[in-house]
Structure formats: structure tokens, C-alpha cells
Structure 1
Amino acid sequence: MFDGLYFEFPKLLFLVFFFIACESLCKMRLQSLYFPHTQQFAKSSISSSKLLFLLKWLGIVMLILALMSPVKDETYELEPKNGYEIALILDASQSMQAEGFDTSNANLNRFDVVKSIVTDFITQRKNDNIGLVVFGEYSFIASPLTYDENILNRIVSQLHIGMAGKYTALYESLAQGVNLLKMTESNSKVAILLTDGYSTREIDKVPFDVALDMAKKEGIKVYPIGIGLPHEYNRAVLQEIAKETGGVAFGASTARELKQVYEQIDKLEKSEIKNESFTYLNYYYVYPLFTALISLMLYVFLRNKRGKA
């Protein structure tokens, strides 16, 4: 238990000398009465005085140890998993509000259908380290890479249309997906880019060739998915992204086709990802603090009861 234990504030140990000096120089003066023939009572009070002395200094020393904050570095390792590191890049622009994409429920808009299918996809990819990027006028990382499917699905459920603006910064979203994946050590990096529109030239701050070069440099395989009718999204750009990065471009005009696309991507080959380790501080100041409180409480109780300093 005590292996690797150390103090965050070891210099506070010098407080001991302050209390020793106070014990010698700051003796408490009490009013006293003189009684003759008190020697017979002296012996009975010696043992109680020693106990009070022990309790007082035990409390002081334990209190100082608690202030010094004893801690220990605890290491936690995630088990190695076989899978991909995947960036899910989702279009949340205003055009995703179009309804009729799901023939079984025409009242659902495109984004509702996408959220449902992406949630199923995340649930099936239990061994993958998955992150989430959302884009509209700008792009942002909604979730860093994680194996926790429950957290991811909870985040997906809270996404809504227009949360990143109503226009489409398509190339910036690809660059953001690269930023999400470039710090990882896996050799198997995949970005699944889903959109239903064209890049808005006035809004998209990252040029297409720059975003594409970033993905190629990091060895990221991109699977672009265009949803809606073929003329609603830039099919040529999506095909070029897939070709240059070694991925495959898909199109889906209905919810059923989109589900089949994700099922195809789900058949990706597996590769090993190195296990991750985390270190956190485990604090042990509670134990000396508790001992100090008990000791000082007993000291005060016995001193008041027996009238001994």
C-alpha cells in the first residue's frame, strides 16, 4: 500500500519545529492554589500526563502529515483492442432538415435517420476507437476518440440541425477529422464523411487540395457518403476524396441504402491498436487527518475531565 507513496508538499514538515518551539516557549499559565501534602497524588497523575502528551503530539504530527498531502500514482491500462480508429464526420447543416428520406416514416428528417443509423453503427463497432466531428458553417470535435459506446451514443442523441450553422464547410470538416486522428499511433485510421450538399465556397475556409493532402499525409482512408439524390451533393468531389485516400465513395438516396452503406463499411478488416495507459493521483490524506482528529478530541476530553495540562 505504501510503495510509491510520496508527499505533494513535503516542506510543510518544518511545521513540527514550530510546534516544538511553541511547546518550550509558550507554556500556558493557569491560576493555581497551594495544597500541602500533595506528593501522594503525584504518582497517580504521571500516567495520565504521559497519555495526554502522547495524544497531543500524535494529533499534531498526523495533522502535519495530512497537510503534506500523501499521494500515490496509480496506473490504469485499457486492454488492447483489435479494430480501427474512426472519425465519424456528420453534416448538421440546414439542408439535413429535408424529410421523406425514410420511406417507412416520411416525417423523419435526414438528420434523425442519420443519427439512428450512426448509433447502430457505433454499437456494432465495439472494438473501435471512435471520435465524432460535426460540421455546418464551421466544424468542431463533438467527441474525442473513445471506446465508450454509451458516451458516444449519448452525444449523438443530443446533436441537432443547425448547431454548427446552416451552411456547409465540407473541406474544413475533413481537415478537422484529420486533426482528430493524427495524434494516434494506429496504422488503421478511417474517416467516414457524411454530407448531403456542396461545399459553401464563401464559408469553407480550408481549400479542397489542402484538406485532401492532410488526409493523405496521415494515411487516413476516407469513406465519403453522399445522401439524397445524386444532384444534391458533389459526387465528383466525394469520389476524388475516396480515390486519393484509398477509400470508397457511396451514395444513398434512402434510409435503407444508407444503412446498407454503413453495413458495408462495418466489414472493414481489423488491426491491433496499442493499449492505452492513464495515470491518476490517489490521495491518502484522509487517514492521518482522521487519526489527528480522534487523537485531539481524546486529548481535549481527558484534559477537561482530569484537569491536567
Structure 2
Amino acid sequence: MTLSFAFPWAFLLLPLPLLVWRFAPPYRDRTRALRIPFFREITEAAGLEPRAGSAILRRRRLQMIAATLCWVLLVLGLARPELLGQQVTVEKAARDMVLAVDISGSMDARDMEDASGARQQRLQVVKDVVGQFIDAREGDRIALIVFGTRAFVQTPFTEDLVSVRSLLEATQVGMAGPDTAIGDAIGLAIRSFETSEVDQRLLVLLSDGADTSSRMSPVNAAEIAAQQGVSIFTIGVGDPNGSGDDKVDLKALEDIAARANGAFYYATDSAGLQEIYAEIDRQNPRITETVSFQPKQPMGWIAFALAAAIALSASGWLHVQSLGQSRGKRA
């Protein structure tokens, strides 16, 4: 640790009392006097020595030392001494990312292969891949949105990646309803970004169906997102040749990505999904901002406390001395 002064200009005040003593006119005080008959006889009887009516106040050496020390300590305190610790540098990601995951009824289909080649539930494969993606986002702020018939914020923006993954693992098919509301999920992401103060804003949206229940058109939502500086990367999973709600609308997902300055991807298995999330990360390298600060421990209060202690001690000692002298004279 090193000692520093936040306001070193205060030391220019040190010679101020000397300048006042040298150049300022002396203070004079006039008091009324009484003429007493037989004054000399009275003073002799009292054991006192009469002096002239005009007297100069004489300060004791202790008073001068205490006053000097108090002034030096007061100026030292005004200079704001601080103990500086080791400089700390923190790198903070200047990127906010929303992960939107479809949990509609069609995500219960078991047609996606995992790393071992076994067919698994779509949502389970997505949770495994997205969970690994979240774990690698150290330093980013992540928000999680799940959507079915309605869209919900599962976690707002946070750097607590453990909580984000835990809440992702807790999601189940149909929790948000059986239908698919892609447009509402985009709109909810836009609202989440309203509190973001960074320039790099990414929405990664994964769905296996067509928009069937949104109150906002996915295309209109994508255009608004682009105006707000939000880039949308869409990922399609599922069967593009299916029927009804089980058919993934790849054309709509591609259109959304094109309108929001993003990219569209399609995955059929776990390996492909992992490669897609890795590609999104490569295309959008994390921007970091470096913040440096140095811990400071104020020490000025010590100087002020010492000045007060010296002043009180000197005043008390002089008072005791004066009492002793007056008692001696009476004796």
C-alpha cells in the first residue's frame, strides 16, 4: 500500500498562521478600570504585584506547541490522505444475449439423435446443447425466454449462469401452452433489451413449429428488433415436411433472421445443434470493456482526531496549572 493525498493543494495553507502573525495588526481589547483607594496597601496585603493597566497577552510554550501541532494536523486532514491498494482490473463483457427456446407440445417428439446416436426428446437435446452453450458464456449477461402459446421470461439478464442453466433444466414441454408464439417471444426479448446499455445485443431463437398464437407478427417483431439494434439468429429443429402445428416453418425463421441482421440455421441432431451454437459464437465474438480501479482507504479522520485530542489535552493541562497557581497564591 502507498500513501497518497487527494487534495495536496491544502498544504499551501501551512504558512497561513505565520503570515497572519507577521502582517495582521495585533488584537487589542479595551476594558473599564476602577480606581480603588488604598490600592497599593490592598495589593501588598493580598501578596500581589500591581502591573500597568495595559498588558500584552503572553502565551505559554505548551500553547504554542499544541497550536502548531493542531494546525499541521488540520491541514494534513484537509489534504485527504489515502492508503492506495493494488490496482484491480476487471474485464466485463459488453454483450447481452437472450436465448429463446420453444417448449410447445411438438417439442415432445423423439426424433433427434444425441451424441450416442440414440433418439431423444427434442427439448431434452436442446436443453443439453443450450446448457453447454450457457456454461461457455462466462462474463456475458444472459436472459432466458421460453415460449409456447405464450412467451415468458424465465430469467432476466444476469451473469449467474448456474441459475440460468438450472432454470432451463427445470422447463418441461407444454409449460407455456401447446401452441407456438414466435412473434410474442421476439417482442418479449425486445422489451428485455430495453434495460440493456450495451451495443452488442443478440437474440438466439430456437423453434420446431410455425407461429400459431402470437399477438404480434414475427416479421413485424423482427423489423422492430432491427430498429432497436437487436440481431436475431434463428434455429429450426423438427420436421419441415410435417403437417399442421408439427411442421417447422423454415421460411418464416429465415425471413426473421434476414430482417434482423442475423442468420438462419437448421439442425436435425445434437451434433448439428452444437455446431450451430458454436458458429453463432464465432460470428459474434464477445466485446469486452476493461474497468480499472484502485481501492482507497481514507486516513484523514486520524489527523482530525489527533488534532482534537491534542487541543483537549493542552486545554485540560493549562486549566489544571491555573487552578494550582491560584491555590498557591491563596495559601
TM-score by length of 2: 0.56
Q: Secondary structure at the match of 2:145?
A: strand
Contact in 1 for aligned 2:99/2:142 (Cα 8 Å):
yes
Q: Kindly provide the CA deviation profile for residues 206-256 of structure 1, in whole angstroms up to 9, marking residues without a partner as x.
A: 123431232112110100000123333111111111111111100001111
> Which residue of the partner structure matches residue 232 of structure 2?
222
Q: Map 1:140-219 onto structure 2 (within 5 A).
A: 140-200=152-212, 203-219=213-229
Give the number of aligned pairs.
Answer: 197
Q: Map 1:222-301 onto structure 2 (within 5 A).
A: 222-231=232-241, 232-267=247-282, 268-272=284-288
Whole-angstrom distance in 1 between the partners of 2:90 and 2:164: 19
> Which residue of the partner structure matches residue 99 of structure 1?
110
Relative distance call for 1:274 and 1:208 in structure 2 (3 A) is farther
State the 1:263 CA deviation. 1.1
Contact in 1 for aligned 2:233/2:264 (Cα 8 Å):
yes
Whichever residue aligns with residue 241 of structure 1, its letter is I
Whichever residue aligns with residue 86 of structure 1, its letter is M
Q: Segments of 4+ in structure 1 off by > 4 A?
A: none
Structure 2 gap ranges (5+)? 1-88, 242-246, 292-331
Structure 1 gap ranges (5+)? 1-77, 276-309
Contact in 2 for aligned 1:125/1:266 (Cα 8 Å):
no
* Structure showing greater relative contact order (alpha-carbon pairs closer than 8 Å, 6 or more residues apart): 1
Contact in 2 for aligned 1:130/1:145 (Cα 8 Å):
yes
State the 1:107 CA deviation. 5.0
Whole-angstrom distance in 1 between the partners of 2:289 and 2:186: 23
Contact in 1 for aligned 2:223/2:260 (Cα 8 Å):
no
1:130 and 2:146 matched: no
User: Which structure is larger by alpha-carbon Rg, 1 or 2?
Assistant: 2
Q: Secondary structure at the match of 2:199?
A: coil
Whole-angstrom distance in 1 between the partners of 2:122 and 2:252: 21
Whichever residue aligns with residue 99 of structure 1, its letter is R
Contact in 1 for aligned 2:219/2:259 (Cα 8 Å):
no
Q: Secondary structure at the match of 1:269?
A: coil
Whole-angstrom distance in 2 between the partners of 1:196 and 1:254: 13
Q: CA RMSD in A?
A: 2.1
TM-score by length of 1: 0.60
Q: Secondary structure at the match of 1:221?
A: strand
1:85 and 2:96 matched: yes
> Which residue of the partner structure matches residue 35 of structure 2?
none
Relative distance call for 1:80 and 1:144 in structure 2 (3 A) is farther
> Which residue of the partner structure matches residue 28 of structure 2?
none
Whole-angstrom distance in 1 between the partners of 2:219 and 2:267: 25
